[in-house]
């Protein structure tokens, strides 16, 4: 039987019993927790670095009852994530591949809290409604049980030591599933159909893995001395996750196979620095690097950042976008073909047929999901030839599927930068007086403001209105993607250099724009945005050690659709640091995941839930892998 230990907020459990349980799982008592398997005690507080967790948890007791469970940073000691339930797995010395990391009894979503009324999936009994935790007397002993309601008013009482069999039901949108009836054969048939379907998907995935091994690639050299000197110019302290992601990326690059690594991290968590170090490493082996970004504005900012960091080294960095004249573009293309450009940064223009590289070694893709189908096909061709590093702030659940199956290697940057504060988020009716107050407060502390309005037709008119209710002397400008390139470039550079106080803009500022001095955002018609878009937009502020504010405005008196209300409620609720995971789970439920897995698999996921589907698929991959080795 797989051994695990579960505990939850409000549970009656004396601290000594808890410590004995940790020891029995192989955890080591230390003065301070530093790595997986460590635990420490200070009075009525126990810190545990659980196996499979990205960061440790701190558990506090009130008498013999657990009163709080929170994740915290080992660097700062600050708490930043509350949990209701935690499952601890044994600490064992082992070396295992990525697939094994997700054991069949380990919930994929460790950090998804189950609330009363949520749909849940019991692996043996199917879909039911979670009613909460109750004490049930069993053999003269009261024990905590999860209570799940099924069809016909039946209830299932699940002992807390079996809670690993229960997961929150996550679908891909559409109708909610029917609650199963206990004892009926319907659930077994649904589960069996899903299990059979996963075999076909698993076979395709194994073929993809085999292809990646046979194609081969360029094995980059170990770090040169200049690499160390370059990395020392980083003005901040790296987070633990950044260090690990850099190590994994370099290891991939030094292997004889083409790298295809996915780097996931919440907005503002330092993914660009990891990409910069990979690019520098590639150039040290006389290889060229292409940095592919979704917008012209982001290309310009990446270009400026690379120039600042790499300027002291004999490396030529250039940019290709509509900010360049046709003559300039022609000259840059010639230099790239001749090997005169080491790092080229650009939009989808880099995927055009007239682009010829002398010796391309690395492609960095920022937010691949923002590129069209044709561009993605071109990227697929590249993956067979060169190393590819894809950056995404799209939180984990959308990419977990690919990583789980081994279709991609994955690094997760989940640790917030030091001194980062949560963004205070408010859902408000459109109110000029409120906005004037918010702008005045930000300008009084010498900050800057984004005012997002995603309609080009009347953005100039709105900018005039904003100018009227802003403090006297406030410098207000507007920007959108249909402006002449030189004018747009000038406005964005003025904002970056603090020569504009309030920027009224479309969503061109959504991807990767980094202005630490801008810490107030107003989003007009917020109900018209997707949840992931709102999360990305909000991530433009709060990138400094200063409280940031986001006002999501809707038209006064406008009736909201059910989906719009859910999106706004979710973005307001999940404003704490690292909330991207929870937002993604909400996004999966509200909007769905499109054609990620195809229509047939979509139906099976709807029947058994995303979590159980992934478990079944993992089992199929494992089974086929073992069969092929025999």
Taking the chain (630 residues) in runs of 10, the rounded mean pLDDT of each run is 70 90 88 87 89 80 90 81 77 40 34 73 91 85 89 89 80 73 88 83 72 77 94 88 93 90 80 94 96 87 90 93 87 94 92 88 82 66 78 57 58 74 82 87 91 94 94 93 87 91 90 80 92 82 80 86 83 67 59 50 70 75 68
Give all strands of the β-sheet with 126-138 in edge-to-edge order: 155-159, 141-149, 126-138, 119-122, 166-168
Half-sphere exposure of 172 (CA within 13 A, CB side): 22
- What DSSP state is assigned to residue 80? E
Q: What is the pLDDT of residue 209?
A: 66
C-alpha to C-alpha distance for 269 and 313, rounded to whole angstroms: 26
Q: What is the pLDDT of residue 575?
A: 64
Q: What is the pLDDT of residue 585?
A: 59
Show the tokens assigned to 49: 């670095």
Residue 276: CB atoms within 10 Å: 22
The H or E element spanning position 559 is none
Q: What is the pLDDT of residue 581?
A: 55
Q: What is the pLDDT of residue 395?
A: 44
C-alpha to C-alpha distance for 93 and 36, rounded to whole angstroms: 11
Q: What is the pLDDT of residue 458?
A: 94
Pairing type for strands 548-554 and 423-429 reads parallel
Half-sphere exposure of 480 (CA within 13 A, CB side): 14
405: left (phi over 0), alpha (psi -120 to 50) or beta: alpha
What is the three-state SS of 313-382?
CCCCEEEECCCCCHHHHHHHHHHHHHCCCCEEEECHHHHCCCCCCCCEEEEEEECHHHCCHHHHHHHHHH
The H or E element spanning position 434 is helix 432-444
Domains assigned to the chain: 5-95 (3.30.2060.10), 119-181+602-629 (2.40.10.170), 225-413 (3.40.50.300), 423-576 (3.40.50.300)
47-to-35, 50, 375, 414, 598 alpha-carbon distances in Å: 11, 9, 47, 19, 43
What's the gap between Cα 226 and its chain centre? 31
C-alpha to C-alpha distance for 508 and 499, rounded to whole angstroms: 19
Q: What is the pLDDT of residue 427?
A: 85
Q: Which of 515, 366, 421, 423 is nearest to 505 (CA)?
A: 515
Question: pTM for the full model?
Answer: 0.64
List residues bridging with 121 in a β-sheet. Answer: 127, 167
Decide if 229 contacts 377 (C-beta within 8 A). no
What's the gap between Cα 161 and its chain centre? 30
Q: What is the pLDDT of residue 503?
A: 96
C-alpha to C-alpha distance for 310 and 316, rounded to whole angstroms: 9
Q: What is the pLDDT of residue 620?
A: 78
């Amino acid at each position: 039987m797989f051994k695990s230990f579960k505990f939850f907020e409000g549970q009656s459990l004396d601290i000594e019993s808890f410590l004995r349980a940790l020891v029995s799982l192989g955890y080591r008592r230390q003065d301070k927790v530093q790595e997986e398997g460590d635990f420490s005690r200070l009075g009525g507080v126990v810190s545990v670095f659980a196996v499979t967790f990205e960061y440790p948890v701190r558990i506090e007791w009130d008498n013999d009852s657990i009163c709080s469970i929170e994740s915290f940073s080992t660097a700062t000691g600050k708490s930043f994530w509350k949990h209701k339930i935690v499952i601890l797995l044994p600490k064992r010395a082992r070396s295992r591949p990525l697939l094994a990391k997700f054991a069949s009894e380990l919930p994929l979503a460790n950090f998804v809290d189950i609330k009363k009324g949520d749909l849940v999936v019991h692996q043996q009994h199917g879909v039911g409604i979670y009613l909460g935790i109750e004490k049930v007397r069993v053999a003269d002993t009261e024990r905590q049980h999860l209570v799940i309601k099924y069809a016909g008013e039946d209830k299932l009482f699940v002992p807390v030591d079996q809670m690993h069999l229960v997961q929150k039901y996550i679908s891909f949108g559409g109708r909610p599933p029917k609650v199963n009836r206990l004892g009926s054969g319907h659930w077994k048939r649904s589960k069996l159909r899903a299990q059979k379907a996963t075999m076909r998907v698993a076979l395709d995935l194994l073929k993809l893995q085999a292809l990646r091994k046979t194609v081969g690639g360029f094995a980059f050299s170990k770090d040169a001395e200049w690499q160390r000197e370059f990395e020392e110019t980083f003005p901040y302290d790296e987070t633990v996750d950044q260090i690990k992601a850099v190590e994994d990326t370099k290891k991939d690059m030094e292997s004889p196979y083409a790298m295809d690594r996915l780097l996931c991290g919440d907005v503002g968590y330092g993914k660009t620095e990891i990409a910069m170090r990979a690019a520098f490493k590639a150039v040290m082996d006389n290889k060229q690097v292409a940095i592919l970004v979704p917008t012209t504005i982001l290309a310009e900012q990446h270009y400026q950042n690379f120039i600042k960091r790499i300027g002291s080294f004999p490396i030529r960095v250039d940019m290709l976008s509509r900010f360049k004249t046709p003559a300039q573009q022609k000259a840059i293309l010639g230099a790239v073909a001749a090997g005169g450009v080491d790092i080229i940064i650009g939009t989808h223009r880099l995927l055009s047929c007239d682009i010829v590289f002398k010796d391309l070694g690395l492609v960095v893709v920022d937010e691949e999901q923002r590129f069209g189908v044709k561009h993605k096909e071109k990227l697929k061709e590249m993956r067979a030839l060169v190393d590819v590093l894809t950056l995404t702030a799209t939180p984990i659940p959308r990419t977990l599927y690919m990583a789980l199956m081994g279709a991609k290697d994955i690094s997760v940057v989940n640790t917030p930068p030091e001194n980062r504060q949560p963004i205070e988020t408010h859902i408000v009716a459109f109110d000029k007086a409120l906005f004037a107050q918010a702008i005045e407060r930000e300008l009084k502390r010498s900050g800057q403001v984004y005012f997002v309005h995603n309609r080009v037709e009347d953005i100039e008119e709105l900018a005039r209105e904003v100018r009227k209710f802003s403090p006297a002397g406030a410098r207000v400008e507007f920007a959108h993607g249909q402006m002449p390139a030189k004018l747009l470039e000038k406005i964005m550079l003025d904002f970056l250099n603090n020569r504009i106080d309030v920027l009224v803009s479309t969503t061109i500022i959504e991807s990767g724009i980094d202005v630490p001095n801008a810490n107030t955002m107003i989003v007009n018609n917020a109900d018209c945005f997707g949840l992931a878009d709102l999360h990305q937009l909000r991530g433009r502020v709060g990138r400094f050690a200063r409280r940031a504010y986001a006002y999501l405005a809707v038209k006064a008196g406008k009736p909201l659709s059910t989906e719009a209300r859910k999106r706004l409620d979710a973005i307001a609720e999940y404003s704490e640091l690292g909330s991207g995971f929870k937002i993604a789970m909400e996004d999966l439920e509200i909007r769905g995941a499109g054609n990620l897995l195809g229509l047939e698999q979509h139906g099976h996921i709807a029947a058994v839930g995303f979590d159980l589907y992934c478990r079944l698929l993992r089992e199929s991959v494992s089974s086929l892998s073992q069969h092929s080795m025999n």
